[in-house]
């Protein structure tokens, strides 16, 4: 299913793409699996979704509809196709896979984090971005910085070209950083417990807490946190706990100037303020989630942040 066709027109629906979709449907391949194969092959999400819906609908109306009685059968099947084509659907009518998220129905001003209340500053649906205040107090922020300082080294990124999933220096990321083991210190365990309580996601499904320092001029250019399908490093990285699904970024100080978190596809920038946090999620490894983000350059002072990545399964 990976070899859909050669030299696809990635931005427009082609007859070859429609024929391939119908062939997959006849072979019993679910709509979500076919959609993921198209995304993996490089098709834009909007094009893939449109091709999937139109091809399957035409196929149903031209063939399977003959087996239906009454005029409502075709409409019911068309509706089923539209639902099945949504990313995250399992093709068995059971809906999307669970995701870490916050309980924001009814637009509450505050949320229960277990041992404290946190304030909701902003709630954006697409991209899925929520800004919180009060996840850590000033004393806790200072303690995390103090614990991390002796262990700071130049930040690395995943070497996506290597099947080993190792690390490498990257000019796009000019911070210093270190990792804590889960629960390594009481303040780390407290933060992890709050994140798990807020998101309804097990502590064990989180990677170790990363603390980063950005000095004057340091930045992290826009990037995605998920592991990109098809890269040599991805299978190795996924074996440790599945795909990344979400990120919680906590500001440990307030820079004098600069250092905000940007989401270019949403024209959004969150200013760094001590104790505040930015949660964002991505329900599939695809740019269509609009989860492209980065750290703006620090203009004056320094920026300290803590990052927690959430995986599908227990991280090992």
pLDDT in tens, 83-140: 333 443 333 333 346 899 999 999 999 999 999 999 999 999 999 999 999 999 999 9
Mean of all residue pLDDT scores within the chain:
84
pLDDT of residue 79: 38
Give CA–CA dist 93/34, Å, rounded. 16
Phi, psi of 209 (to 5 degrees): -70, 130
Contact yes or no for 315/196 (Cβ under 8 A): no
Query: What is the three-class DSSP state of 293?
Result: strand
The residue count for the chain: 316
Region class of 191: left (phi > 0), else alpha (psi between -120 and 50), else beta: alpha
pLDDT of residue 156: 64
Higher pLDDT pick, 52 / 268: 268
Higher pLDDT pick, 85 / 283: 283
Structural tokens at position 10 = 């990635």
Higher pLDDT pick, 183 / 10: 183
Higher pLDDT pick, 93 / 166: 166
The yes-or-no verdict on residue 75 having pLDDT over 50 is: no
Give CA–CA dist 261/195, Å, rounded. 19
* Torsion of Cα atoms, 206 then 116 then 278 then 186, to 10°: -40
Q: Which residues pair with 311 in a beta bridge?
A: 244
Give CA–CA dist 163/165, Å, rounded. 5
The yes-or-no verdict on residue 34 having pLDDT over 60 is: yes
pTM of the model: 0.70
Q: How many CB atoms lie within 10 A of CB 41?
A: 19
Quick: pLDDT tens for 201-237: 999 999 999 999 999 999 999 999 999 988 888 999 9
Give CA–CA dist 193/185, Å, rounded. 12
Contact yes or no for 61/70 (Cβ under 8 A): no
């Amino acid at each position: 299913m990976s070899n859909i066709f050669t030299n696809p027109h990635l931005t427009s629906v082609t007859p070859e793409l429609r024929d391939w979709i119908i062939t997959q449907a006849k072979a019993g391949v679910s709509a979500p699996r076919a959609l993921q194969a198209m995304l993996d092959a490089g098709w834009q999400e909007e094009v893939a979704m449109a091709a999937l819906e139109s091809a399957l609908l035409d196929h149903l109306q031209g063939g399977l509809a003959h087996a239906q009685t009454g005029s409502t059968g075709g409409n019911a099947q068309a509706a089923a196709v539209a639902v099945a084509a949504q990313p995250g659907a399992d093709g068995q009518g059971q809906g999307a896979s669970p995701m870490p998220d916050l309980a924001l129905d009814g637009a509450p001003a505050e949320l229960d984090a277990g041992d404290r209340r946190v304030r909701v500053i902003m709630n954006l649906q697409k991209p899925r971005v929520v800004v919180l205040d009060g996840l850590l107090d000033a004393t806790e922020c200072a303690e995390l910085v103090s614990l991390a300082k002796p262990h700071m080294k130049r930040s690395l990124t995943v070497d996506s070209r290597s099947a080993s999933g190792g690390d490498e220096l990257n000019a796009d990321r000019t911070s210093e950083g270190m990792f804590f083991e889960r629960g390594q210190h009481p303040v780390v365990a407290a933060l992890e417990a709050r994140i798990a309580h807020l998101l309804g996601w097990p502590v064990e499904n989180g990677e170790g807490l990363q603390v980063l320092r950005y000095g004057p001029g340091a930045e992290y250019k826009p990037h995605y946190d998920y592991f990109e399908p098809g890269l040599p490093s991805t299978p190795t990285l996924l074996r440790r706990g599945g795909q990344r699904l979400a990120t919680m970024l906590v500001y440990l100080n307030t820079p004098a100037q600069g250092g905000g978190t940007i989401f270019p596809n949403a024209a959004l920038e969150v200013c760094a303020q001590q104790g505040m946090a930015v949660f964002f999620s991505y329900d599939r490894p695809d740019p269509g989630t609009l989860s492209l983000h980065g750290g703006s350059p620090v203009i004056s002072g320094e920026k300290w942040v803590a990052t927690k990545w959430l995986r599908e399964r227990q991280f090992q």
